[in-house]
A and B are shown apart, each in its own frame.
Chain A
Amino acid sequence: MTGENSETRTRNIRFSAAGVYIQGVKTALASRMAYRGDFIMSMLIMMIVEFGGPVITLIIYNNGASFPGWNQYEVLLLQGIFLLSRGIAFPFFMGIVWNTIGRVREGTFDLLLIKPRSILLMTVVTGFDSEDLGKLIGGILVFRYALKNLPVQPASHWVSFLILFVFSLILMFAFALFMAGLGIVWVGNYRIYDIFMSVIDFGLYPKSIFTKTFQSILTYIIPVSLLASYPASALLGDLDQSVFMALLSSVVFLLLGFMFYFKMVRNYTSAGG
């Protein structure tokens, strides 16, 4: 009796959305490992590209300039958090963007639609991008380097940091939904990434360098400051009240993302791609 129950339990986990996702990750990794050398090289390049922002920061500070109120390690901490957020988002779920764009263009999006699972789940499952793990490594390195040169923070700061970091990932997922949805109707246009990259570029720098109007936009409308600025401030113990509005905006943004994505899927199943 108990044997059967545990078997059903393992089956339920294996066939749950998470189980299918893990299987998808395993498959994607196995597939990528077929070209091991190129994989390592690509991961390295990903990592180096990520260092761009931090390096520019270092050069600016090296020339004697600075962002008012932030020393170079504090800025690097912020950028490290930004890179960590990207480093988790890009390999684990950002892939839905190129996956959707590519499949819609080649006509293989239908292959996912005939599976007995949510199309969003199928797109995430088949969109794991192992190369982007290089971004995660880059983020970890910058984050650690910055931490080493800053005073140790109390646990309370770390807790609020972690909570905000989760919201940072939620925001990235919302962006992914918007881009994937766009990819369904704007066939084959990989430049959708460029729109997104330009907007989140605001997230690489402390909120305080922007004008009041922009700060409002970046908190209440498209809460890009949630990606790194707020979590960094939390970790450094410098959080202000506006963070709660940002959290609320990000949830709203996520809901809008879902609505937009599924509306675009509905469009696709009406127009036949």
Chain B
Amino acid sequence: MQGTAVKKGNSPPRVFKSVITATFKEHMAYRSRMAVSVFAQPVYFLVNYFIWQAIFQIRDTVSGFTFGQMLSYFAVSSLVGFLNWDDSGNVLPMLVQTGGFITFQLRPVSHIYYSFFQKVGHRIMAFLIEMLPVVCFYIMLGINLVPAEPFWVLISLFLSFVLSFLINYTIGTFAFWFVRTDGVRRAVYLFTSICSGAFLPLNLFPYSFQKLLFYLPFQFIAYVPVRVFIGQYELAGITMSIPQIVFLQAVMVAVMFLVNRALWYMGIKHFTGVGA
């Protein structure tokens, strides 16, 4: 009798729903912090606007992009950034460092799913406070935000959401081995951000670098979803159809998941062996 009652209350969907609600409420407290994006992002975008407007004064295309497409690139890329931003790469190391991770080892919850649904909770809040106002700003500026193929865009966005989580989470997993990782982590984040296409369309980089970027998972975080949005994919001279590149994205998600689980089990073994 007791056993079934307990089981019902702690069924996975219910637990994760409460994680989402709790995280959402917690982030109400940080609403003013999120609201900063509503100011900062438009400002950054304006700077970009002027840069490319000046550049396109004397040219019609840059590496295959028109002025309108370049603006769309940066606009959509920023929105994808809001969608994908998550802190799991910092939270896990902090838990390990402060010893708080033990509370997860003692509870019947798998940390990766817990972390993932934390991200869902945060991002719902971000959608309301960060994304919607910024989308309005872009529309006012006349940026083209109509996707070429909405169906594929949705799938691609979902995949990039999961993939960016997996990558950040995997970086955080290294906390099981290294105690102070702040400096290295910052460097890694910088590298992944550059390689994801968040700062500059990847096909503007030198050709040899583009070839490397094609094989790294980071392009699937920002560059690919934005390209799917624009409706045409090209990198390192390789062109693919939208369904093809989205399929590749899904494959990358599966690979990243397996990599993470492998690292996790090795990490836990090392961690519990060495001691909290």
A62 adjacent to chain B (CB < 8 Å) = yes
Q: A58's closest neighbor in chain B, by CB? A: B206
Interface residues of B in 28-86 (CB under 8 A from A): 32-33, 36-37, 39-41, 43-44, 46-47, 50-51, 53-55, 57-59, 62-63
A210 adjacent to chain B (CB < 8 Å) = yes
Minimum Cβ distance to chain B for residue A224 (Å): 10
B183 adjacent to chain A (CB < 8 Å) = yes
Let me know if A198 and B58 touch, CB within 8 A: no
Would A214 and B50 be within 8 Å (CB), given that A41-B183, A194-B40 are in contact? yes
User: A205 — which chain B residues lie within 8 A by C-beta?
Assistant: 47, 50-51
B190 adjacent to chain A (CB < 8 Å) = yes
User: For the complex, what is the distance from the CA of A62 to the CA of B208, rounded to whole Å?
Assistant: 14
A-B contact count (CB 8 A): 84
User: For the complex, what is the distance from the CA of A194 to the CA of B187, rounded to whole Å?
Assistant: 19
User: B186 — which chain A residues lie within 8 A by C-beta?
Assistant: 42, 45
Best-surrounded residue of A48, A49, A198, A201 (most CB of chain B within 10 A)? A198
Interface residues of A in 17-70 (CB under 8 A from B): 35, 38, 41-42, 45, 48-49, 52, 56, 59-60, 62-68
Counting contact residues on chain B (CB < 8 A from A), the size range is 20 to 34
Let me know if A210 and B50 touch, CB within 8 A: yes
Interface residues of A in 58-96 (CB under 8 A from B): 59-60, 62-68
Query: Of A45, A63, A208, which contacts B190 at CB under 8 A?
Result: A45
B124 adjacent to chain A (CB < 8 Å) = no
User: A197 — which chain B residues lie within 8 A by C-beta?
Assistant: 40
Let me know if A67 and B32 touch, CB within 8 A: no
Let me know if B59 and A64 touch, CB within 8 A: yes
Give how many A residues have a beta carbon under 8 Å from the other chain's beta carbons: 36
Let me know if A41 and B204 touch, CB within 8 A: no
Let me know if A68 and B58 touch, CB within 8 A: yes
Would A68 and B54 be within 8 Å (CB), given that A41-B184, A56-B199 are in contact? yes
Best-surrounded residue of B39, B58, B183, B190 (most CB of chain A within 10 A)? B183
Minimum Cβ distance to chain B for residue A164 (Å): 21
B269 adjacent to chain A (CB < 8 Å) = no
Query: Of B40, B62, B180, B187, which contacts A63 at CB under 8 A?
Result: B62
User: For the complex, what is the distance from the CA of A198 to the CA of B57, rounded to whole Å?
Assistant: 24
Query: Of A48, A52, A60, A194, which contacts B36 at CB under 8 A?
Result: A194
Minimum Cβ distance to chain A for residue B43 (Å): 4
B200 adjacent to chain A (CB < 8 Å) = yes
Would A63 and B183 be within 8 Å (CB), given that A195-B36, A209-B50 are in contact? no
User: B180 — which chain A residues lie within 8 A by C-beta?
Assistant: 35, 38
Having A66-B55, A191-B36, A209-B53, one finds 14 other A-B pairs with CB under 8 Å, namely: A38-B183, A45-B183, A45-B187, A56-B200, A60-B62, A65-B59, A67-B51, A186-B32, A189-B32, A191-B40, A195-B39, A198-B39, A201-B44, A208-B54
Chain B: residues with CB nearer than 8 A to chain A?
A: 32-33, 36-37, 39-41, 43-44, 46-47, 50-51, 53-55, 57-59, 62-63, 180, 182-184, 186-187, 190, 199-200, 204-206
Chain A: residues with CB nearer than 8 A to chain B?
A: 35, 38, 41-42, 45, 48-49, 52, 56, 59-60, 62-68, 186, 189, 191-192, 194-195, 197-199, 201-202, 204-205, 208-211, 214
- Could you name 29 residue pairs across A and B whose Cβ atoms are closer than 8 Å? A41-B183, A42-B186, A45-B187, A45-B190, A48-B187, A49-B190, A56-B199, A63-B63, A67-B55, A186-B32, A189-B32, A191-B33, A194-B36, A195-B39, A197-B40, A198-B39, A198-B40, A198-B43, A198-B47, A199-B43, A201-B44, A201-B47, A205-B50, A205-B51, A209-B53, A209-B54, A210-B50, A214-B46, A214-B50
